[in-house]
């Protein structure tokens, strides 16, 4: 995807390919799953990706990101964050995703999808409207969680029974089967940001006294059962990722007397997840405690990916205000993470990866449909196409 701009130039670590199982991703700049709340909320098209999703995702693939992660996609209807979320609980949704995976693949990127259940944070309005809990009269539904503990000012969720937990494990497995049939080459289990799996992990939100609560081993049981069930139906040749909130930002705050999930817990969990077939930990933080004090800043979550990679010895992705090419490249060069998941920066600039290549002294290669215009603009004359049967139509700038 990227060529050296001058003979002898050493390729940036950011543009090194990386292999997970049988999949080789062309670079280390990956698109984070970011909800857009743009699917139909009811009727036969509920949860199906639309032209919006196709354009949104394919444009980032054209922009040079190596892996494109589809936003949080609910494994069942009550697992949606909002009524306008994507879903993968039926065949119609599965079939609609095929053009998404085909478009991403045709542009040289790897299509991936995040499977999720929003738990007690489900049934909310679009964030650019009120973002608040929707009642059944407003198109919402009863939320669920490990305990009847509400999130912020939302109503208390239904406390899941053991039988219901087992059903949810199966829901994740069935969604993974549909993802495979739809053509995705990587799948991620969403265990972060206060959604259902994350709320089981943290003893701040998991008040159960059965086999799914109390001890560390019990609190991670739900996550491990889902991972095992997904790995069993997901192709052995394809990678499985797990997104975790590495901390609730409680225990690390000396001024907050509350305790929650910690970086040490995450390192411990990462090793166990790897033993259960997870190939990479997507390391984010927060989202489980609405009033937690989170000290944000450039690269503020990199330390948690660093801990997973270098303490647990498990491949890790870094996220969180990584906005400059030199900054991203340094994280990888220092061995603090294996890949960079980018979110808002790719919303602002879909072509950030190609611009980053230029800034790092490399030569970006553009889709051939763009390449003529790019080359003509810079040199005043067209540049010959450099295309092989093994890659999409790209052209040097």
Catalytically active residues, by annotation: 195
C-alpha–C-alpha distance, residues 386 and 3, integer Å? 11
Question: Which of 70, 88, 72, 69 is closest to 25 using CA atoms?
Answer: 69
Using alpha carbons, select from 110, 122, 20 the residue that is nearest to residue 77. 122
Spatial contact of 188 and 115, defined as CB atoms under 8 Å apart: yes
**Where do we find the tokens 């990722």?**
241
> 152: how many CB neighbours lie within 10 A of its CB?
12
Backbone angles phi, psi at 212, to 5 degrees: -105, 10
Q: DSSP of 10-68, one letter per residue?
A: PPPGGG--EEETTEEESSSEEEPP-----SBSSSTTBT---HHHHHHHHHHHHTT-SEE
- Sign of the torsion angle spanned by Cα atoms 68, 78, 194, 234: negative
CB-based contact 164:92 (threshold 8 Å): no
- What's the Cα-to-Cα distance from 116 to each of 179, 196, 342, 376, rounded to whole Å? 12, 8, 19, 45
Q: Which of 147, 64, 65, 68 is nearest to 102 (CA)?
A: 68
Among candidate residues 221, 240, 125, the one with its CA nearest the CA of residue 173:
240
Q: Whole-angstrom Cα distance, residue 378 to residue 360?
A: 18
**Residues belonging to the chain:** 397
* The two three-digit tokens of residue 205, written as one number: 């939100």
């Amino acid at each position: 995807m990227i060529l050296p701009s001058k003979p002898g130039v050493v390729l940036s670590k950011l543009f090194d390919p990386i292999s997970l199982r049988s999949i080789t991703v062309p670079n280390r700049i990956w698109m984070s799953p970011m909800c857009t709340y743009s699917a139909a909320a009811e009727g036969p098209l509920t949860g199906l990706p639309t032209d919006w999703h196709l354009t949104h995702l394919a444009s980032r693939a054209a922009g040079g990101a190596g892996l494109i992660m589809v936003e949080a996609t609910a494994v069942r209807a009550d697992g949606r964050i909002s009524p306008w979320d994507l879903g993968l609980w039926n065949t119609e949704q599965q079939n609609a995703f095929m053009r998404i995976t085909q478009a991403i693949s045709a542009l040289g990127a790897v299509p991936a999808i995040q499977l999720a259940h929003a738990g007690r944070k489900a049934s909310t309005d679009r964030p650019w409207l009120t973002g608040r809990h929707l009642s059944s009269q407003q198109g919402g539904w009863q939320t669920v969680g490990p305990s009847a503990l509400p999130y912020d000012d939302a109503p208390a969720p239904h406390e899941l029974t053991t039988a219901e937990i087992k059903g949810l494990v199966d829901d994740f497995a069935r969604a993974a089967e549909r993802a495979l049939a739809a053509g995705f080459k990587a799948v991620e289990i969403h265990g972060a940001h206060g959604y259902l799996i994350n709320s089981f992990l943290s003893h701040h939100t998991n008040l159960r006294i059965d086999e799914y609560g109390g001890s560390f081993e019990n609190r991670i049981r739900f996550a491990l059962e889902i991972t095992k069930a997904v790995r069993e139906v997901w192709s052995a040749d394809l990678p499985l990722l797990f997104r975790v909130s590495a901390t609730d930002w409680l225990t690390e705050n000396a001024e907050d007397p509350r305790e929650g999930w910690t970086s040490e817990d995450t390192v411990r969990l990462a090793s166990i997840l790897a033993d259960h077939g997870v190939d990479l930990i997507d390391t984010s933080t927060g989202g489980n405690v609405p009033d937690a004090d989170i000290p944000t800043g450039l690269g503020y979550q990199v330390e948690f990916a660093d801990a997973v990679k270098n303490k647990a010895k498990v491949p890790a992705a870094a996220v969180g205000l990584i906005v400059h090419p030199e900054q991203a490249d340094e994280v990888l060069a220092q061995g603090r993470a294996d890949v960079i998941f980018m979110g808002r920066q790719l919303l602002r600039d879909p072509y950030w990866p190609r611009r980053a290549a230029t800034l790092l002294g490399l030569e970006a290669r553009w889709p051939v449909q763009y390449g003529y215009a790019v080359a003509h603009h810079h040199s005043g004359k067209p540049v010959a196409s450099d295309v092989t049967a093994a890659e999409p139509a790209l052209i040097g700038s």
